[in-house]
Homo-oligomer: A and B are copies of this chain.
Amino acid sequence: MSNQRQILVGVLGATGTVGQRFIHLLSSHPFFTLHALGASSRSAGKPYGAAVKWKLPFPIPARAKALVVKECKAEEFKDCGVVFSGLDAEVAGDIESAFRAAELAVFSNSKNHRRDPVVPLIVPLVNPSHFSIIPHQRSIHSPRLQTGFIVTNANCSTTGLVIPLAALEAAFGPLESVMVTTMQAISGAGYPGVPSLDIFDNVVPHIGGEEEKMEWETAKILGGISHDGTAFEMHATNPMRVSAACNRVPVIEGHTEAVSVRFARRPPPSPQQIREALEAYTCEAQTLECPSAPKKVIYVHDEPDRPQPRLDRDFQAGAGVNVGRIRECAVLDIKFVVLSNNVCIGAATSSIINAEIAVFKGLI
């Protein structure tokens, strides 16, 4: 990695919670060099250290502190080989499109382009094969783009779910049904996000749009892509029913999900076979030696009361997922618990690994 060329990167929405996480993660990256920070016009023109209300439990990286915040205009980021977007959904759509049109490679954590039929929705530990749609995405732009594109990563709760599901499908064939009940951390809602009066000593059994996102995104991510790289298959060949119930709980970081699955294949695999398949799962980001990829995609816990968000969310810098309590389900086949770090693999870390994969695939 030592003779890897350095790539200048920009961060859009740099003062927000996802933006702060990008900046923290990028401050020690082996080949991405933080170069430009974009935020609203209210922050533009100020040194980042003065513009941001920094909320992470580490100091602001020195390099970022001194950078003068820019407006989110493509010409300000023209030297950037990669642009990470942590923009709010209200503005992300147009800004990201404009950046793409200006031939910039955009890795977005926002939801705006996830349902776009030519934009891949990539969970880096699952479906980097979907990068193959990029030529098609560029080609339909007029004029045809040479270097610009948009790649999105998934909603935080979807990410934690699809990683073990992908491992199961890889080992045992298609899933027929998936039931998931989430217990999601407050950091998933950004800042200021959830008022303390709403969530202290409480559970809020509703997160606007989240259940629909989990059900829809799962099909796009786990589905294939056409051979000519022009369309997503949406798991249509083997229809998979996904039912999600999403809850906000008083936890700072780490989404816990209670998952039950039914396989198409009969008889289904045993809990022990499931355990082995999850443990054994590897992914292309590891083969490519992406520096931000976890050593172990899925860490399986054998203690009966793990994983737990406070104890396990920071394992592997939050880049993998944790699974535990694999057991038979009296209604579907198998149930288990997933714990993923919603601000790392569920957000900024996914974007960064996606960008690393793009570099290694020669897209940047």
Contacts and interface: CB of A to CB of B under 8 A. Distances in A.
A102 interface: no
B308 A205 contact: yes
Chain copies in the assembled complex? 4
A187 interface: yes
A284 interface: no
Interface string A247-290: 10111100010101010000000000000000000000000000
A183 B251 CA distance: 13
A203 B256 contact: yes
Given A183-B183, A304-B206, A330 B197 contact: no
A252 B197 contact: yes
A181 interface: yes
Given A201-B251, A205-B258, A335-B245, A193 B195 contact: yes
A250 B186 CA distance: 13
Contact of A197 (B183, B186, B312): B186
A179 B260 contact: yes
A287 B208 CA distance: 40
Contacts of A177: 331
Contact of A202 (B191, B308, B331): B308
A306 B200 CA distance: 15
Given A177-B331, A241-B330, A251 B252 contact: no
A89 interface: no
Interface in A308-339: 308-315, 324-325, 329-332, 335, 337
A245 B193 CA distance: 28
A315 B337 CA distance: 32
Contacts of A238: none
Interface stretch (A52-60, A108-116, A136-144, A351-359): A52-60
- Size category of the binding interface on chain A: 35 or more
A310 B57 contact: yes
A314 B200 contact: no
A307 B205 contact: yes
Contacts of A196: 186, 193-196, 198-200, 250
A228 B206 CA distance: 47
Interface string A160-200: 00000000000000000111010100110001111111111
Nearest to A207: B305
A66 interface: no
Given A204-B308, A331-B177, A57 B314 contact: yes
A242 interface: yes
11 contacts: A181-B245, A186-B197, A192-B192, A192-B198, A193-B197, A196-B198, A201-B252, A203-B251, A204-B305, A205-B256, A241-B330
Listed from nearest, the 7 A-B pairs whose CB atoms lie closest are A181-B181, A192-B195, A202-B310, A245-B258, A206-B305, A243-B330, A196-B196
